[in-house]
């Protein structure tokens, strides 16, 4: 899929008896069903398959509810949840860019921008701007809520990798030090969660679920 992909509803438009604004909103809400088909690298803990972006976004939202008390700066929980709900929507057309992938990040920003314009542009202008602002806020990490949302995005696959006894920690050429470097932004949101994150990586390294940290030095 990309920003020239036809809409899901092109084949089955909603009845045109529905009031125009609401019809646009419902058409958008059908289109975002595609998030359920965007696969991430992370293996589920509960089944033998990879996670999709919609499940992942739900999981982050649950983590915000349960872990908000560990935020080092006060956060608005409802707002933080909104950030995680929308943070991956652009992947509907731009695809998932694996965190340990060497080259795919190059044109990621461009692809994601085109995707945002297509997808959010389906909504009435006021709501397009609202969702776009949430996505921009998440990406910029300049608010306590965005930093906490990003920390959840880093911590969740770590829990799944633990359960998989390695998972993407064992991606080609990656060491425990690389994992720590990519997870360090958890510490921008919460010292307590970053401490736990480091304990999980250290124990994974000890058990051989991540390559020794010094392998690339």
Residues in contact with a second copy by the rule CB under 8 A: 8-9, 12, 14-15, 17-19, 22-23, 25-26, 28-30, 32-37, 44-47, 51-52, 54-55, 57-59, 61-63, 65-67, 70, 76-79, 81-82, 85-86, 123, 127, 131, 159-160, 162-163, 165, 192-193, 196, 199-200, 202-203
Binding mask 84-113 for Ca ion (x = CB under 5 A): ----x-------------------------
Q: Which two tokens stand for residue 41?
A: 């690298």
Shortest distance (Å) from residue 47 CB to Ca ion? 19
Given the complex with Ca ion, which of 96 and 177 has the nearer CB atom?
Answer: 96
The CB density around residue 15, as the number of other CB atoms within 10 Å, is 6
- Per CB under 5 A, which region of 24-32, 81-89, 172-180, 208-216 contacts Ca ion? 81-89
Calpha distance 8→34 (Å, rounded): 9
Shortest distance (Å) from residue 148 CB to a second copy? 14
Shortest distance (Å) from residue 110 CB to a second copy? 24
Calpha distance 108→95 (Å, rounded): 9
Q: Which two tokens stand for residue 150?
A: 């990003």
Calpha distance 213→41 (Å, rounded): 21
Tokens 């990879």 -> residue: 50
Count of residues in contact with Ca ion, rule CB under 5 A? 1
Which residue pairs, CB below 8 angstroms and at least 24 apart, start in 78-81?
79/145, 80/145, 80/148, 80/149
159 binds, among Ca ion, a second copy, none (CB under 5 to 8 A by kind): a second copy
Whether 51 and 40 have beta carbons less than 8 Å apart is answered as yes
Give the residue closest to Ca ion by C-beta. 88
Three-point CA angle 151, 159, 89, nearest 5°: 55
Given the complex with a second copy, which of 53 and 177 has the nearer CB atom?
Answer: 53
Tokens 């929308």 -> residue: 86
Whether 182 and 154 have beta carbons less than 8 Å apart is answered as yes
Shortest distance (Å) from residue 180 CB to a second copy? 15
Secondary structure class of 173 (helix, strand, coil): coil
123 binds, among Ca ion, a second copy, none (CB under 5 to 8 A by kind): a second copy
Shortest distance (Å) from residue 31 CB to a second copy? 8
Given the complex with a second copy, which of 66 and 125 has the nearer CB atom?
Answer: 66
Residues found near Ca ion in the complex (CB under 5 A): 88
């Amino acid at each position: 899929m990309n920003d020239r992909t036809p809409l899901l509803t092109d084949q089955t438009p909603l009845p045109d008896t529905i009031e125009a604004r609401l019809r646009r909103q419902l058409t958008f809400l059908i289109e975002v069903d595609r998030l359920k088909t965007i696969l991430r690298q992370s293996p589920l803990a509960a089944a033998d398959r990879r996670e999709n972006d919609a499940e992942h976004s739900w999981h982050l939202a649950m983590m915000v509810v349960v872990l908000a008390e560990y935020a080092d700066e006060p956060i608005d929980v409802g707002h933080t949840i909104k950030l995680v709900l929308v943070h991956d929507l652009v992947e509907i057309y731009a695809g998932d860019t694996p965190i340990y992938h060497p080259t795919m990040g190059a044109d990621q920003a461009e692809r994601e921008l085109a995707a945002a314009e297509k997808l959010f542009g389906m909504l009435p202008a006021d709501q397009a701007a609202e969702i776009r602002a949430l996505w921009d806020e998440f990406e910029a990490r300049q608010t306590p809520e965005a930093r906490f949302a990003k920390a959840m995005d880093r911590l969740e696959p770590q829990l799944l990798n633990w359960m998989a006894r390695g998972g993407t920690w064992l991606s080609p050429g990656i060491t425990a030090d690389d994992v720590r470097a990519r997870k360090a932004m958890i510490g921008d949101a919460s010292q307590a969660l970053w401490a736990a994150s480091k304990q999980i990586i250290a124990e994974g390294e000890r058990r051989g679920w991540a390559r020794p940290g010094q392998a690339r030095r």
